Amino acid sequence: MIKKAKDIRAEYSKLEKEKYGREWTAPEIYHGFVGDVGDLGKIIMAKEGIREQENIDQKLAHELSDCLWSILVLADKYKINIEKSFTESMDQLERKIKDGSK
pLDDT at 102 over 80: no
Q: Which of 46, 73, 41 is nearest to 57 (CA)?
A: 46
Report domain extents, the chain: 2-100
Q: Are 13 and 23 in contact (CB under 8 A)?
A: yes
Write down the pLDDT at residue 100: 85
d(CA 12, CA 17): 9
Q: Which of 4, 2, 27, 5 is nearest to 84 (CA)?
A: 2
What is the average pLDDT across 73-79? 98
Per-residue model confidence as pLDDT tens digits over 24-69: 999 999 999 999 999 999 999 999 999 999 999 999 999 999 999 9
What is this structure's pTM? 0.89
- Considering the domain delimited by 2-100, tell me its CATH architecture: Orthogonal Bundle (1.10)
Q: Which of 42, 30, 14 is nearest to 67 (CA)?
A: 30
pLDDT at 9 over 60: yes
